[in-house]
Amino acid sequence: MAKRTWSGWALDVASVVVPGVGRVRAQKIPFALAWSEANQAALSSDRPLWVALGDSMTQGIGARTITGGWVPRLNTRVGGRFAVVNLSTSGARVADVLGDQLPRMLTLPSAPALVTVLIGANDMLTPARRRGVENRFAELLDRLPAGRSVVASLPHGNATANAVNALLDTAGARGRIQVADMRGPALGPLRGSLAEDWFHPNDVGYARIAGIFEAPVRTVASFRIGD
């Protein structure tokens, strides 16, 4: 029997106390299956490839359907120009992007024109989880394809998040990545933007995230495939 984590037990308890937690958690498997099917279809497309890396927010957990997540919304905003392969997984941390998602990206039949990364929320939950995150983000930036990647900053105000954001800003200033800046008021008021679990975004929240990513994604797209 697999060992349960503290966070797993906490979510079990929360799903009893707050029914919305259980309803949002129940999206995990159907959303993953829907993305798996969508990924297969994308690989047979002749459109430029967008590889989305991250956690449950890139899966779109909390939206009514996967099309309500920020990735499909943004692809619609830019005219559906990309074939999206979403390699994100619910619960992922930076280490999972390094150890699983990036290696899977390298096995794809063609190199992506665009890579987006939205990761770090699960690493910020406790001080123990935050240890080593700055170094893992530094490795992540080294391994992402230069000039083709958009990485979200961390909206959290702790010292680790600030150090990670400084790394992103430096990489952005050097032109290695584009930064989707989620700091300060970028995400807007929480009221009306959260799903029933009070953690994940809902359709409103994902529309805001799509808006944050839009300008840097268009910048990459203009260089890579023309506007």
Q: What integer pLDDT is reported at residue 19 of this predicted model?
A: 60
Both structure tokens of 162: 């600030």
Residue ranges per domain, the chain?
Answer: 17-224
Contact 82, 51 (CB under 8 A): no
Could you give the angle at the alpha carbon of 146 between the alpha carbons of 133 and 185, nearest 5°?
55
pLDDT of amino acid 192:
82
Is residue 13 scored above 80 in pLDDT?
Answer: no
Strands in 177-180's sheet, in edge-to-edge order, are: 83-86, 49-54, 114-118, 149-152, 177-180
Cα–Cα dist 225/111, whole Å:
13
Whether the CB-CB separation of 75 and 47 falls below 8 Å is answered with no
pLDDT exceeds cutoff 60 at 225: no
Distant-in-sequence, close-in-space partners of 125: CB < 8 Å, separation ≥ 6: 7
Interval 172-217: pLDDT, tens: 999 999 999 999 888 877 788 888 887 889 999 999 999 999 999 9
User: Given pLDDT bands bounded at 50, 70 and 90, which one contains residue 1?
Assistant: very low
CATH class name, domain 17-224: alpha beta
Residue 62 backbone zone (phi > 0: left; psi -120 to 50: alpha; other: beta): left
Six-digit token string for 49 = 């490839």
Percent of the chain whose predicted confidence (pLDDT) is above 90: 76
The tens digit of pLDDT for each residue in 122-137 reads 999 999 999 999 999 9
